[in-house]
Chains A and B, each alone.
Chain A
């Protein structure tokens, strides 16, 4: 078993007097990469189905079933898998002690993989609650809650028994994530079981919509935002050696973010039969949310701003800075979309997948990959296998994501505008299928962007694999010597 001995200097203290459970951290990271590959391959597949319907293979591999495997595979498999592993890593360092229950964490890892595998199978089989990002049926929901409780026990247990008095920002974000996701997931998944594989939402109609999007938007807030910010605030200073610019700004940004997020779900329901006041309140808080989001963006920029040469001299800095840049763009574009005047044009179009993928490919994956680049060599007491390959990875995922997002924004505007276009006599200028046919060139471009992104991720995986191999060889040589 690997120990903490290989990374003696952490926060200026020598830390070789106890063991970190690196195996669990590594297990989660490698598992998340595996599920990430599955999710990305299915993403490519459904992107081709959009312009080549013959690639639908009924019943298990039609778009309607695969799309949820794609979103769940990446949000839960890649996203939450990485969040579990990297949060454990961060918590152990920031509390200056091993996890309180290392064996429970190992069980957590195994159960996580079993749950994701069962989730994928159940979605292929069409067991689907039809709640976006909460598609899993009730027995798996119970499994997810158990997994989350196991996580929470180690998070809170380890933090309470910490050996460092002050809790650093990253721990605040991990605590907020742990609490918020528990509330969100349990409430939205309350349902009336009708057999083992089917259930009906406890909430009906308009109310069901309001609960679902309260959940849905905060899944973005507390899975794709707060835990990723925890990584950002920890690994940016670690990899650059530069302290976070403003502690005060971190405090303001944290509290206003976790306060405002919960009000905003209704911006997904603009112009629906949901009561107007809930829509308007949601839109107003969505605009407000720009401030705390940019609090972290500004903090990131000013942190590196004391020495921009880090962008060239430290290969990880650009991952974090581009990541936080896309977070910044995302958190301006999102509120803009919430406005009624913008929503009426781009809602229900391909603009929205373009928006989502800037966040997931540009911010979440970029930041998570950089965190993994930092962790893996630390665990194996070595250096990254190749900075050059990391740079190739960086440019490919950047270009791939930009092609994806920009083509989807264009085609989204085309759809929205042509759906509304009228002839001089007031009749509609285009039938639905005429507008659909105009999307094909853009949908093909999107697949191209996805392929470039995927190749970038393959470089990342190769680099991680070779770093592990190098680390193992060094350890073996060390043991022999």
Chain B
């Protein structure tokens, strides 16, 4: 059985190399030569100089050790993070940054989910938003200026188009701003379904809050508010990076609106230029439809109403 190959090291090495190269060729080299492995979505744009600088920061800080960037086509995953990842979204990622561990949440659909200011404050102190978060703080990056000369080299290495002006503008930017610019573009190349409320819909009837004025619901709403809302809308709804909820201004226009408009904003979130009850939203509030059930959202509305009374 122990054939002569075990006496001939050179022959043995050649045979071993061939055996190793078979699977390598079938699963790696051949696919690489097919178009299947090089898809690109029509909406996908190369990174700008600021975004690439931010992506470099993302890699430098090893963000991919705790955050994935790929939503699997699984029901609850799509509910939690958004549309599942498409092969054509990553053509400008060298390397891919899908990651392999979710100590923190997936970031494949983080772009546009929160306003820049949210990210800035969250990077400064993640625990201010999520008390139990174990994410390190990255506010220190705001103190470091970018190095436009090296970013220009990086743009050239990637063969991304850029202008001299674009590079010059980096002089005024810091590392944290670059990182946020990158985070805000992640996963934005897929075609998003138009917001359900973008067409002006004349509502015949309004649904009243079934829990309006209910003391137990207001108490539940207060607890939910502290957990999900206070980081942006401030304590007692007095406003912070998100607008105040204690005044009677709704989507930047004075005058109150019915309960179910509040419900819809909490349920669907807001997207830029979305129209709600004739008012145009700036966008930046995430949807809570997959996080909070109807009862909890109505409880939140009841609590917000109680805040308006106390101001």
Contact = CB atoms under 8 A, between A and B. Distances in A.
Interface stretch (B86-94, B180-188, B197-205, B257-265): B86-94
B95 A203 contact: yes
A345 B56 CA distance: 31
Contacts of B292: 427
A275 B23 contact: no
A194 B154 contact: yes
Contacts of A394: none
B24 A262 contact: yes
Contacts of A352: 100-101
Contact of B72 (A131, A187, A272): A272
Interface stretch (B4-12, B247-255, B272-280): B4-12
A362 B99 CA distance: 25
Interface stretch (B31-39, B210-218, B301-309): B31-39
Interface stretch (B112-120, B126-134, B161-169, B236-244): B126-134
B85 interface: yes
Interface string A259-288: 111111110110111110010011001000
A207 B7 CA distance: 40
B211 to A, nearest CB: 16
Interface stretch (A50-58, A294-302, A374-382, A454-462): A50-58
Interface stretch (A122-130, A236-244, A322-330, A469-477): A122-130
B79 to A, nearest CB: 6
Given A130-B59, A272-B85, A259 B290 contact: no
A427 B297 CA distance: 12
Contacts of B37: 206-207, 210, 275
Contacts of B1: 247-248, 251
A349 B32 contact: no
B62 A67 contact: yes
Given A53-B136, A194-B156, A420-B76, A204 B59 contact: no
Contacts of B93: 204-205, 208
Given A195-B153, A207-B32, A212 B26 contact: no
Contacts of A419: 76-77, 80
A183 B22 CA distance: 13
A192 B156 CA distance: 10
Contacts of B28: 187, 210-211, 214, 265
B190 to A, nearest CB: 11
A186 interface: no
B95 A131 contact: yes
B108 to A, nearest CB: 10
Given A207-B37, A275-B36, A433 B9 contact: no
Nearest to A200: B94
B132 A206 contact: no
A59 B142 CA distance: 12
Interface in B145-202: 150, 153-154, 156-158
A211 B93 CA distance: 14
Nearest to A171: B9
B136 A63 contact: yes
Contacts of B63: 64
A248 B6 CA distance: 13
Nearest to A285: B23
A162 B10 CA distance: 12
Given A206-B96, A248-B1, A64 B61 contact: yes
Nearest to B138: A58
B17 interface: yes
Contacts of A428: 76, 79-80, 290-291
Contact of A128 (B38, B60, B293): B60
B271 interface: no
Given A278-B27, A427-B291, A58 B158 contact: no
Interface string A402-428: 000000000000010001111101011
Contacts of B2: 166, 247, 251
A165 B7 contact: yes
A266 to B, nearest CB: 7
Given A58-B138, A271-B73, A209 B6 contact: no
Contacts of A271: 72-74
Given A53-B133, A271-B74, A433-B132, A207 B38 contact: yes
Interface in A179-197: 179-180, 183, 187, 191-195
6 contacts: A59-B140, A205-B96, A210-B28, A259-B23, A419-B80, A425-B294
Q: Would you list the 7 A-B pairs with minimal beta carbon distance, nearest first?
A: A64-B62, A262-B23, A205-B90, A194-B157, A56-B136, A201-B95, A263-B23
